[in-house]
């Protein structure tokens, strides 16, 4: 199926333009209204037949034309620009007009090839302009004003189709530059308007292919869109703001109704598979004032479609969408599924929307960005350098690099992630040192008073601070350092001031190591290696220091005295001499003890014997005490508390607790 552009002069079409202009905020100039020519989209089927375009296609081209005309305005006044594309007003008008016109009229299907080519060129031209505009937007740092975008029909494209290229460009660019949750507008729009019949893209529905029932083409989408838009249209700016906040989880100051509506609808569409459903439901909520039932009745039937829609592996045109789904955290999908089952509980939805999303951990960010960092960097370079034709950017990437700002000399790439549907921007770090400088660095040095050991440590540190991957063969570094110890000082030069001091201090500390004895009392004094293979073939982590029995006992006692959770206290008072045990260590150990005590105490299914051969037996008396303490402090795992603990300890727990509190 190909996408072509037909040209048609038509009186009624003028109305269409008028309708659109009317709603496009102050962007229109009077002369445009009298423009006698209107372009209409037609799709060329494989067999050469022409099939009328849908609303979206029309709107797309129209907006495109308008964009072209008001481009200057757009650039000059970003805040208002969005109005160039109009969702309101035009829809109903268009619907009516289309029915009047009759889509199957023969003249609509005649296309002059020359004109076609001309149109294509025209479109490409305009695309260029739009691209520039978008750049300007980004350049002037107005992230919130989405640019007027142009949508080229994203229906199935024949690979030879010229338009395909345009399409692809758009797919790549809009995602890249517009700080909106994924999905090119065309997609969202078509989702909204096609009432879930997205499958049309790859497998055109019968009515479309047949072309014999034009009414079905026009009426159905119109219908749905009509309703959907009415829903949003009824909202005041304030309500729109609320909706926006509920949708994206953040405030907006934009006053532009058009913009808000578009954003909201896009957000809703993007935020879940079930675009239609959620959008409508969402709309409902706010429309409750008036056309509640209207929306409900119409969209209720679509509520079950979405999953199917999702399944259709849509090829070219919906890459963006598919990618989006790839990224969406599963949690979110679940949530939405839940929602959609109960179409009425708007309350829940709002609550969830308002629920604070946990910031993605650095590790998460890193791991994501690590995958694409190379790609992304290349792309960024391309974007930055090529103001002209960027090469086709692989639509595969599911992360949108929104822009990069330099902060403190470092380049930070932000990308838009779909976390929690809030569309928040998370920093996208390109592989940065992962762990903070080792805390027990001094201790390490003390353990390795030999010059080589120290050199190795210093070198490692230096390398680390220079952003070298921390884990690439520590042994190599050691060898290098030992073979050329004099380079250590050179490495030092690059070390940040603070660290330099630290290192120097370490060196000094080396001279008068005070309580080396205490530390040496424990085994495991070689911390040079990343992992230490244990006798049983397992590997122990770098800084692991096996817990001795006395330590465990101290820990247990500490917990009994100060209570679990006061780790810093316990550490300060009971572990004063064990500088290498941090409060976190205590907590972890306690966690393990708890687990152990509740796991293996009761049955004793011979596991104990096997464990005894291991590193740390943890005598059962201690475990028992641990369990007792845990019970006292109501730290009992819920499932176990009922089985084992229930009878005997319950009362005690209660008494003790009341006594404590």
Partner DNA sequence: CTTAGGG
Partner DNA sequence: CCCTAAG
**Site residues (CB under 7 A) for DNA?**
358-359, 361-363, 434-436, 541-545, 547, 564-569, 580-581, 583-585, 587-589, 591
Q: Which is nearer to DNA, 462 or 564 (CB)?
A: 564
Cβ closer to DNA: 326 or 363? Answer: 363
CB of 49 or CB of 572, closer to DNA: 572
Residue 570 in tokens: 């316990």
Both tokens of residue 443?
Answer: 């201790």
CB neighbour class for 435 (10 Å; exposed up to 12, middle 13-18, buried from 19): exposed
> Rounded distance, CA 211 to CA 201, Å?
15
Burial, 254: exposed, middle or buried (Cβ in 10 Å; 0-12, 13-18, 19+)? buried
Least CB distance to DNA at residue 353 (A): 17
When the beta carbons of 427 and 485 are compared against DNA, the nearer one is 427
Query: Residue 565 CB, nearest distance to DNA (Å)?
Result: 4
Q: Give me the least distance between CB of 482 and DNA, in Å please.
A: 23
Concatenating the DSSP letter of every residue in 588-632 gives: HHHHHHHHHHHHHTTT--SHHHHHHTSS----HHHHHHHHHHHHH
Residue 435 Cβ vs DNA, minimum distance, rounded to whole Å: 2
Q: Which is nearer to DNA, 160 or 436 (CB)?
A: 436
What minimum distance in Å lies between the beta carbon of 408 and DNA?
A: 18
Q: Kind of pairing, strands 37-44 and 410-416?
A: unpaired
Cα–Cα distance for residue pair 134/147, rounded to 1 Å: 6
Question: Which two tokens mark 101?
Answer: 């016109």
DSSP 418: -
Kindly state the DSSP code that residue 144 receives in the 8-state scheme: T
Nearer to DNA, 21 or 589 (CB): 589
49: number of CA atoms within 13 Å, CB side? 11
Q: How far is the CB of 545 from DNA (least distance, A)?
A: 5
Measured from the CB of residue 551, what is the shortest distance to DNA in angstroms?
Answer: 9
Quick one: 102 or 565, whose CB is closer to DNA? Answer: 565
Report the C-alpha gap between 276 and 547 in whole angstroms.
58
Shortest Å distance, C-beta 241 to DNA = 25
549 in Cβ contact with 619 (< 8 Å): yes
By the 8 A CB rule, do 319 and 396 touch? yes
Minimum distance from residue 437 beta carbon to DNA (Å): 9
Sequence-separated (6 or more) residues with CB below 8 Å from residue 63? 20, 84, 85, 86, 148, 150, 151
Instruction: Identify which of residues 436 and 517 has a Cβ nearer to DNA in the complex.
Output: 436
Separation of alpha carbons 6 and 42, rounded Å: 6
Q: Look up residue 609 and give its two tokens.
A: 């014997």
Query: Cβ contacts of residue 646 below 8 Å, gap of 6+?
Result: none
- Which of 1, 393, 320 has its CA nearest to residue 160? 1
Least distance to DNA, CB of residue 645, Å: 19
In whole angstroms, how close is the CB of 642 to DNA at the nearest point? 20
State which residue, 292 or 370, has the beta carbon closest to DNA. 370
Q: Which is nearer to DNA, 77 or 367 (CB)?
A: 367
Give the shortest CB-508-to-DNA separation in angstroms. Answer: 20
Element (H, E) at 81: helix 78-81
Residues 6+ apart with CB under 8 A from 369: 376, 399, 413, 415, 428, 429, 430, 431
Contacts (Cβ under 8 Å, ≥6 apart) of 29? 69, 70
Residue 400's closest CA among 420, 424, 384? 424
């Amino acid at each position: 199926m190909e996408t072509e552009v037909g040209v048609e002069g038509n009186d009624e079409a003028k109305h269409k333009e008028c309708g659109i202009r009317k709603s496009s905020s102050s962007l229109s100039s009077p002369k445009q209204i009298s423009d006698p020519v209107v372009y209409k989209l037609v799709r060329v089927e494989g067999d050469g037949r022409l099939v009328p375009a849908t609303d979206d296609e029309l709107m797309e081209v129209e907006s495109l034309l308008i964009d072209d005309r008001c481009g200057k305005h757009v650039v000059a006044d970003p805040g208002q620009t969005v109005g160039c594309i109009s969702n309101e007003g035009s829809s109903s008008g268009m619907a009516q007009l289309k029915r009047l016109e009759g889509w199957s009229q023969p003249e609509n299907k005649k296309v002059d090839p020359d004109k076609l080519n001309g149109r294509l060129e025209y479109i490409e031209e305009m695309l260029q302009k739009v691209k520039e505009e978008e750049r300007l937007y980004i350049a002037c740092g107005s992230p919130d004003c989405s640019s007027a975008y142009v949508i080229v029909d994203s229906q199935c494209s024949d690979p030879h189709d010229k338009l395909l290229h345009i399409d692809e460009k758009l797919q790549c660019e809009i995602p890249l530059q517009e700080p909106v949750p994924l999905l090119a507008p065309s997609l969202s729009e078509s989702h909204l308007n096609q009432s879930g019949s997205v499958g049309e893209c790859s497998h055109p529905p019968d009515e479309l292919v047949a072309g014999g029932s034009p009414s079905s083409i026009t009426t159905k989408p119109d219908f749905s869109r009509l309703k959907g838009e009415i829903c949003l249209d009824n909202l005041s700016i304030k309500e729109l703001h609320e909706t926006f906040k509920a949708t994206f989880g953040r405030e907006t100051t934009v006053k532009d109704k058009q913009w808000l509506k578009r954003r909201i609808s896009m957000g809703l569409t993007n935020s879940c598979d079930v675009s239609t459903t959620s959008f409508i439901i969402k709309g409902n909520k706010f429309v409750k004032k008036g056309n509640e039932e209207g929306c409900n009745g119409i969209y209720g039937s679509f509520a079950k479609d979405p999953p199917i829609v999702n399944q259709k592996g849509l090829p070219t045109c919906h890459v963006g969408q598919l990618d989006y789904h790839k990224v969406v955290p599963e949690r979110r999908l679940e949530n939405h599924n839940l929602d959609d089952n109960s179409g009425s509980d708007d309350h829940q939805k709002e609550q969830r929307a308002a629920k604070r999303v946990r910031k993605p951990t650095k590790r998460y960010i890193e791991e994501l960005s690590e995958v694409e960092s190379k790609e992304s960097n290349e792309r960024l370079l391309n974007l930055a350098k090529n103001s002209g034709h960027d090469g086709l950017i692989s639509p595969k990437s599911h992360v949108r690099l929104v822009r990069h700002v330099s902060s403190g000399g470092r380049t930070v790439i932000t990308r838009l992630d779909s976390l929690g549907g809030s569309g928040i921007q998370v920093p996208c770090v390109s592989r940065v040192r992962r762990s903070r400088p080792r805390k027990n660095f001094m201790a390490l040095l003390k353990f390795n008073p030999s010059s080589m050991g120290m050199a190795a440590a210093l070198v490692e540190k230096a390398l680390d601070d220079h952003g070298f991957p921390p884990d690439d063969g520590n042994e190599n570094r050691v060898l290098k350092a030992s073979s050329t110890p004099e380079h250590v000082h050179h490495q030092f030069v690059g070390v940040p001031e603070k660290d330099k001091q630290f290192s120097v201090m370490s060196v000094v500390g080396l001279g008068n190591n005070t309580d080396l004895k205490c530390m040496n009392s424990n085994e495991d004094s070689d911390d040079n290696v990343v992992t230490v293979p244990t006798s049983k073939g397992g590997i122990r982590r770098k800084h692991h220091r096996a817990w001795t029995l006395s330590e465990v006992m101290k820990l247990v006692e500490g917990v009994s005295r100060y209570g679990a959770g006061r780790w810093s206290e316990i550490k300060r008072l009971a572990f004063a001499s064990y500088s290498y045990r941090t409060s976190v260590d205590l907590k972890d150990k306690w966690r393990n003890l708890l687990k152990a005590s509740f796991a293996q105490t009761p049955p004793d299914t011979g596991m104990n014997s096997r464990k005894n051969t291991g590193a740390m037996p943890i005598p059962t008396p201690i475990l028992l005490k641990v369990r007792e303490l845990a019970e006292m402090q109501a730290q009992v795992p819920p499932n176990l508390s009922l089985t084992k603990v229930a009878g005997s300890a319950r009362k005690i727990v209660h008494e003790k607790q009341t006594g404590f509190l």
